[in-house]
Structure 1
Amino acid sequence: MGPEDKYSQIFEHLNLAPVLSALGKKNHRGRPEKLNIPAMIYSLLIAKMENIEFVSALVRRLIHSHEFRVQCRFTGSDNIPSQSSYSRLIHALEQTGMLEQLQDRLVTSALEEGFVSGTHLAVDSSMVEAWDCQFSESASKRRAARREQKKHEAPVAEQLQLEHPETEPKTVNEPLKKPRYSKPGRPSQAEKERRREEMEAYEQSLGPFQKTIEAMLPYTYDELLTALPRQAARCDKKNTKGRMTSYYGFKANLLVDTNSQYILSGLWSSANPNDQRMAVVLLKGLLLKFPMLKVKHILGDKGYDCAAIYQLIHSLGAYPAIALIHHKDPPAGMNLDYTPVCTQGHAYRYDSFDAKYETLKYTRPSECQGCALSGSDCQKVFKIRIQTDLRLHSYPARGSERFTELYKKRTAVERVFAYLKEYFGMKRTRHRGVRASVDFQLSTLAYNLSKFALDKLNQQLRNSQQIA
């Protein structure tokens, strides 16, 4: 397809009426609007598809290419927006959250059309480097030097206030200092009670992303989204070779349908929060956005192996399929997949799953057919309820062929990350702070729009072939 035909097919399914209602003028008084807001949004999406990284490059192309202006839906009477105009639009999109609503409406349309089943979902995260990563170290040193200089130049009254911080009122979001006790000897009962009260007050002052993952579960999706850190930060993680590497930037977190590879939900955060915390936010918002979904399995790698994640997935009516981290050796009579083994060390075969009682059924291994111990010391059938330990026992059972085939579908989310970084401009972000989340939402929206347009074209082609 030519560019004009391609973009017309893609933007046909994008309804910008809610965006214009949120960003437009509230009344007809005052100076008229001189900017074509829909064309500016189209141009930002086309910039993602054309790998135009900078807003300045986008403005230059609009100025020098009449064909590109037509593709972005600018008319001859429209003024070419400046970089400042695009900056104000990005800020407004971030403040209103309209891009996330457009994404949810598009996924809902894909569900209604039957393009998305939602049976098997995969969750994963990927790092996105910030543009100013090479300047982060020197900039942080300069900021620290300026703070130290201001501290020495402060007047005497301000220095006295800093020497007695307990007299200053603390803000609501500022956590208390963690109490430390270094006094030797056994504390008295009154001292124990005082320490317990201090520790409880400290834990209450922590934000949702500073608490344990289990303590994050009672929070609602909106509360977690409000407290989500979105500033660029430095993070250490292991690469594919197992070596620790450090990078400065953000983290993109996705929840993807494995069959259709649609992005159902995405979050943009700092690089600091681990994958398990971001999975809590994604899963809490899943059924809130798409209550019609009937999820059967949620797939994840070892980074999501946490008891709280298993509990949250099970509360959604789904079953987790997550690779297991072995913190300790399995008990006697079980292998590393927590499958029963016979006295000769042969693993029992996974047979079936009873959904009513949530019970896994294992039958005697084929190697035990001619064994002399099969009648007495070798049990014929094992039944294990997954509720005994949601982390260790999953449906289908780990180590079985069904689990292996199901877990292979998790690579869909990795392919989506590859598409986003290679074809939709998510390799790194030029924006800073919370505005970088708009850059991420534009990439995911352009990806889902392209997939939806392609599915609609394929559907029309199949219908025309059936009629013919």
Structure 2
Amino acid sequence: MAIIRQGSLFDLQELYNLEPTHRFEAVFSAIDIEPIFAVVTKKSRFGRPVELNYAAMIYSLVARLTERIPFIKDLVKRLKNDMIFRLDCGFLVSDTVPSEAAYSRMVTIISESNVLEEVKEMILHQAISEGFITDDTIAIDATHFEAKNQAPPKEEKPKIEPKKRGRKSKEEREQWLIEKTEREASLPLFEKKIEEQLDVPLEQLRAEIPQNPEWGVKKNSEGKNVFWYGYKAHLAVGTKSQYILQSLISSGNLNDGKAAIPLLKGIQERVPLSTIRYNTLDAGYDYEAIYTQIHRMGLQSVIAYNKRNEPEPEGFDKHFAPTCFREHSYRYDSFDPKYETLKYTRPKECKDCPLADEGLCQKIYKVKITTDLRKYTAPARGSKAWKTIFKQRTAVERVNAYLKLYFQLNNVRYRTGKRAKVHFDLVTLVYNASKLAADRINAMLNQQLAA
């Protein structure tokens, strides 16, 4: 008798319903702390003798996130008063409980390296090798979280002197253009146009992204501006597996679109996944350079179109499908990947139209997506297939909610961008480790049911 494939039996919420000891075992087993341990341990036999259990300290930072312990002082208090929790974290009965200062020193040491990114990558590769990540679609989005240090007052914009009326002379205009070019060339990379990122190496992009807390603004559901002081988390998530494939932290004032190319290049260079075909993003990422980067990767863009006061195209509908003589839209039929061509067929309304027999309406219409990567996507805009893929974008919003609800993303307790990055990297690391732990338990349950 054929075995019926079982659906998902175990998820993150059920992982958190386990007894703490079993939960810690599952999550800790998914994390190889050796690289972190090598960074934080004392390198010299000289100086103050080492009395701390650094491996247990690392595990306790992970446990702090999963147990939603808000402050390091509360973690220290829990370690002193709860012997079972202390043993679960890996401390021996004879070990000294670390002080807040000891944890602070360890976080400072970690902040000077990229070791948490390396461990995150190891967890991701392990999940891919075990067959838990087989996504064909990636969703990218950003979410904000506030810094806990006191926000400075918002700077008032300097008053701009009114422009002189009349046209500039030829000499004045040439001088103005020279000054403008020099001014734009001297800007930091992430203050330039997004197109400037296309040929910049990934390491440089990640190194130059601004990470200090800044004032940010977004529109709420009522269309009003809401301000916050802090950071943004930029995530690229597999829509099926809901693993975080790439992540970035930035200042709160960074435009969402300016973090897309570093995320995409990170997927291209660091994620060995051959099943990826589509990238889906909202209208805030509708920039020519982002389409270009996705096209260079050999993937397809499913991005909401941002009209930006552009005129209505003649001979095409709002989804850029061609229209017939009587303005009926052609139907999307298929995409030819070899020639990168979209194929449209004659509208249903033209079946009995006398103009079709007179040659005024062509039967087949083809267009290359390279004609305009923003307008022509595969599958075509407005098609059922396009809408189905775009709906999967909600996966990244779900992951954002998980990070804030279960993993304390919005509970940053550090005043500098470097130390805040440690918190962010640890949050995303623990999330992926928890996903891997849940998937392993789920696979084990499926094997037991099949047996």
TM-score under structure 2 length normalisation: 0.89
Q: How do residues 115-264 of structure 1 correspond to structure 2 at under 5 angstroms? A: 115-132=132-149, 135-137=150-152, 186-187=168-169, 189=171, 194-264=175-245
Name the SS for the 1:390 alignment partner. Answer: coil
Partners of 2:59 and 2:89 within 8 A in 1: yes
* Greater per-residue helix proportion: 1
**Residue of 56, 63, 66 corresponding to 2:83:** 66
Q: 1:27 Cα deviation (Å)?
A: 4.1
Q: Which runs of 5+ in 2 are unaligned?
A: 1-17, 157-161
Write the distance in 1 (CA, Å) between the matches of 2:73 and 2:234.
28
Q: 1:447 Cα deviation (Å)?
A: 1.1
Letter in structure 1 aligned against 2:303: I
Write the distance in 2 (CA, Å) between the matches of 1:292 and 1:121.
11
Q: 1:293 Cα deviation (Å)?
A: 4.0
User: Which residue in the other structure is 1:448 paired with?
Assistant: 432
Letter in structure 2 aligned against 1:248: Y
Q: 1:330 Cα deviation (Å)?
A: 2.9
User: Which residue in the other structure is 2:447 paired with?
Assistant: 463
Write the distance in 2 (CA, Å) between the matches of 1:402 and 1:292.
22
| Structure-2 change in CA distance of 1:403 and 1:306 (3 Å) | same
Write the distance in 2 (CA, Å) between the matches of 1:389 and 1:210.
26
User: Which residue in the other structure is 1:167 paired with?
Assistant: none
User: Which residue in the other structure is 2:42 paired with?
Assistant: 25
Write the distance in 1 (CA, Å) between the matches of 2:224 and 2:168.
43
Write the distance in 2 (CA, Å) between the matches of 1:413 and 1:84.
36
Write the distance in 2 (CA, Å) between the matches of 1:8 and 1:285.
30
Q: 1:199 Cα deviation (Å)?
A: 3.3
User: Which residue in the other structure is 1:330 paired with?
Assistant: 312
User: Which residue in the other structure is 1:395 paired with?
Assistant: 378
Q: 1:88 Cα deviation (Å)?
A: 1.1
Moved more, 29-38 or 61-70: 29-38
Partners of 2:147 and 2:229 within 8 A in 1: yes
Aligned length in residues: 427
Write the distance in 2 (CA, Å) between the matches of 1:199 and 1:115.
51
- Residue 369 (str. 1) matches residue 351 (str. 2): yes
RMSD across aligned positions (CA): 2.2
Write the distance in 2 (CA, Å) between the matches of 1:454 and 1:287.
26
Alpha-carbon displacement from aligned partner over 1:287-345 (angstroms, at most 9, x marks no partner) = 22124444211110000000011001111111110000113233122111111122333
% of aligned pairs identical? 40
User: Which residue in the other structure is 2:342 paired with?
Assistant: 360
Moved more, 252-261 or 20-29: 20-29
Partners of 2:236 and 2:246 within 8 A in 1: yes
Q: 1:26 Cα deviation (Å)?
A: 2.6
Q: 1:380 Cα deviation (Å)?
A: 1.1
Q: 1:275 Cα deviation (Å)?
A: 0.7
**Residue of 388, 396, 400 corresponding to 1:405:** 388
- Residue 56 (str. 1) matches residue 38 (str. 2): no
Write the distance in 2 (CA, Å) between the matches of 1:235 and 1:192.
35
Alpha-carbon displacement from aligned partner over 1:94-148 (angstroms, at most 9, x marks no partner) = 111211111011001111111112421000000101223xx4246x89xx9xxxx
Letter in structure 2 aligned against 1:249: G
Partners of 2:39 and 2:109 within 8 A in 1: no
Q: Which runs of 5+ in 1 are unaligned?
A: 145-179
Write the distance in 1 (CA, Å) between the matches of 2:277 and 2:412.
35
User: Which residue in the other structure is 2:54 paired with?
Assistant: 37
- Residue 378 (str. 1) matches residue 361 (str. 2): yes
- Residue 417 (str. 1) matches residue 385 (str. 2): no
TM-score under structure 1 length normalisation: 0.86
Name the SS for the 1:77 alignment partner. Answer: coil
